[in-house]
């Protein structure tokens, strides 16, 4: 770290913090820059020289993304330990116990979406366009619902009186309990 001629200790500390953050940012962005530079050279190589066209553009994009990913992992492995010394130290059981339902739900949704997209693609472009519109609407609605659920969890802390919690439960679940 370079010494500065600043006399004010608060300003000196702020400047040192800013320069350290800038150097960390430069280190984290260098793999992205290398990947972008690789893409600049790979695009004309795959598209024009190998005459692959759109397939060459896709291949160049994937190769440059892999280059950036491997460089980021390499830079990160120099700073932190990525894996514990023993595989048993990862404690997957604790993670599955607390988030197993969420993992199962996510896998079920991904499988359903993949099968639905595959079936829509077989029906042609019109069915695929309709499927994409439905998927976008579903995604927006599910994100909004998850946001409402998260905000509802924030507003019902443990120190809320029992009567208020019961009233909130009745209000939130009352529509499904009431007779038609």
Tokens standing for residue 125: 């472009």
H runs (alpha helix) in 90-124: 92-123
Integer Cα distance of 129 and 117 in angstroms = 10
Range of the domain at 112: 102-177
- Spatial neighbors of 30 by CB under 8 A, at least 6 apart, are 71, 75
pLDDT higher than 50, residue 100 = yes
Residues 65 and 112 occupy one common structural domain: no
pLDDT for res 63: 94
Is the predicted pLDDT of residue 104 greater than 80, yes or no?
Answer: yes
- Give me 16's structure tokens: 């040192």
- The tally of domains found in the chain comes to 2
What is the structure's pLDDT at 133? Answer: 94
Confidence of residue 76 (pLDDT cuts 50, 70, 90): confident
Last residue of a domain, one of 20, 46, 79: 79
CA nearest neighbour of 68 among 34, 99, 114: 34
Residue at 15 is within a domain: yes
* CA 5 remoteness from chain centre: 43
Is 86 within the bounds of a domain? no
CA distance 52 to 36: 20
Tell me if 85 is assigned to some domain. Answer: no
- For 8-59, what is each residue's pLDDT tens digit? 666 666 666 666 655 555 556 788 888 989 999 999 999 999 999 889 999 9
Task: Establish if 97 belongs to a structural domain.
Answer: no
Which pLDDT score, from 0 to 100, does residue 174 have? 56
Six token digits for residue 30:
């260098």
In this structure, the chain runs to a length of: 180
């Amino acid at each position: 770290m370079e010494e500065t001629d600043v006399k004010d200790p608060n300003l000196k500390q702020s400047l040192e913090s800013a320069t350290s953050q800038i150097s960390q940012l430069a280190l984290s962005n260098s793999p992205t820059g290398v990947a972008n530079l690789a893409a600049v050279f790979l695009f004309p190589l795959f598209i024009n020289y190998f005459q692959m066209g759109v397939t060459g553009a896709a291949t160049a994009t994937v190769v440059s993304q892999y280059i950036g990913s491997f460089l980021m992992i390499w830079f990160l492995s120099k700073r932190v330990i990525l894996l514990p010394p023993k595989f048993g130290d990862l404690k997957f059981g604790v993670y599955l116990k607390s988030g197993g339902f969420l993992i199962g739900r996510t896998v079920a949704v991904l499988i359903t979406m993949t099968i639905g997209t595959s079936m829509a693609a077989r029906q042609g472009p019109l069915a695929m366009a309709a499927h994409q519109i439905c998927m976008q609407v579903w995604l927006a609605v599910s994100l909004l619902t998850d946001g409402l659920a998260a905000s509802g969890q924030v507003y019902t802390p443990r120190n809320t009186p029992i009567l208020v919690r019961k009233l909130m439960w009745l209000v939130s679940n009352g529509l499904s309990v009431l007779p038609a």
